[in-house]
Amino acid sequence: MTGTGERTKTWNTEISIVETGSEVKAEARLRGKEGGQIVGAGTARCNPTDENVPAIGDELAVARALSDLSHQLLSRAAHDIEVRTARPVERLHA
């Protein structure tokens, strides 16, 4: 399909997880996008009355970091559209 003018871009996401006691912090770094990298952050804490299951904390913190990253990308896209069209973006979510 390269004959149709298609080109492939690769953006890489690296996720770092740091566990400290009952708290987990995650960072999702998106690289490869023009304009540098974007970093999303997420945190999860174990309720003192709950069983501490590190894998669940990892999942929550990473999901929150990826969600933060996603919101930042949508915000940048909306800004870029507004700059090019000189009109506010009313709806960007699918």
30-76 pLDDT, tens digit per residue, is 998 776 789 999 999 988 888 888 899 999 999 999 999 999 999 99
For residue 32, the model assigns a pLDDT of: 80
> Rounded to 5 degrees, what angle do the CA atoms 25, 30, 19 make?
15
What does DSSP assign to residue 79? H
| pLDDT at residue 93 greater than cutoff 70 | no
Could you tell me if 51 and 89 are in contact, meaning their C-beta atoms sit under 8 angstroms apart? no
